[in-house]
Chain A
Amino acid sequence: KNQVEQSPQSLIILEGKNCTLQCNYTVSPFSNLRWYKQDTGRGPVSLTIMTFSENTKSNGRYTATLDADTKHSSLHITASQLSDSASYICVATENDYKLSFGAGTTVTVRA
Chain B
Amino acid sequence: ETGVTQTPRHLVMGMTNKKSLKCEQHLGHNAMYWYKQSAKKPLELMFVYNFKEQTENNSVPSRFSPECPNSSHLFLHLHTLQPEDSALYLCASSQDRGQSNQPQHFGDGTRLSIL
Contacts and interface: CB of A to CB of B under 8 A. Distances in A.
B43 interface: yes
Contact of B100 (A96, A100, A104): A96
B101 A51 contact: yes
B62 interface: no
Instruction: Label chain B's interface by main secondary structure.
Output: loop
A100 B45 CA distance: 9
Interface size class of B (residues with CB under 8 A): 20 to 34
A88 interface: no
Nearest to A103: B42
A32 interface: yes
Contacts of A86: none
Interface stretch (A39-47, A63-71, A74-82): A39-47
B97 A97 contact: yes
Among A41, A97, A99, A101, which residue has the most Cβ atoms of chain B within 10 A?
A: A97
Contacts of A99: 45, 104
Interface in A81-108: 89, 93, 96-97, 99-104
B21 to A, nearest CB: 13
Given A2-B42, A4-B42, A103-B42, A46 B103 contact: yes
Interface of B: 2, 4, 6, 40-43, 45, 90, 92, 97-98, 100-101, 103-109
Interface of A: 2, 4, 9, 31-32, 34, 41-46, 49, 51, 89, 93, 96-97, 99-104
